[in-house]
Chain A
């Protein structure tokens, strides 16, 4: 199974300041078709998860452009350029390159 490791697990941030979350996979997420199926999801308190990015950096519908996704191979990053109050929640990376699908442990973003 591919293990997804996120750092940090908690990220206290000042409003308006940037935040960054790292996700590392135990093996390459490059599929045999050449695509890399790494997604980022946001889960606000009391809400279901919401897709932010798929295939590393493809922003999903409705996601603000202060969010960005980057990386390749086994190392990936989610960045928030200026954290807003509505960004509070837990962020997960997830790989869909192979079964079983696996998620990172989650990174809690909170306002300092």
Chain B
């Protein structure tokens, strides 16, 4: 069974940092690109970032470019999202999902940016 489990969310002040993790199991992690997608409270889905199978290729939404960094550790079957210079508008539930078709999603981890 494919499982994705996000962690690392929490309350952070504007300008602060957080690192999210997504632990994968039930499939060969290194064979799949992975993505982060977020959902602000009561809003729709917004793609954040994607990383290739090896980690050699990354893509970012303009809204997070230069502030967020996606990475992965294939030896630990784990995806990461390093978030810096956080803003109130980054408040959202952050999901990791398996590419290419986003066929499996985690339950999400909530990030709240507030003073």
Contact = CB atoms under 8 A, between A and B. Distances in A.
Given A100-B47, A101-B47, A101-B50, A50 B59 contact: no
Contact of B47 (A48, A55, A102): A102
B100 interface: yes
B1 to A, nearest CB: 12
Nearest to A55: B101
Contact of B59 (A39, A55, A100): A100
Interface string B96-115: 01011111111110000000
Interface string A77-101: 0000000000000101010100111
B50 A99 contact: yes
B70 to A, nearest CB: 13
Contact of B44 (A50, A55, A105): A105
Contacts of B47: 100-103
26 contacts: A37-B100, A39-B102, A41-B102, A48-B95, A48-B105, A48-B106, A48-B108, A49-B102, A49-B105, A51-B102, A51-B104, A54-B103, A92-B44, A92-B45, A94-B102, A96-B100, A96-B102, A99-B50, A99-B59, A100-B47, A100-B59, A100-B62, A101-B47, A103-B44, A103-B47, A106-B44
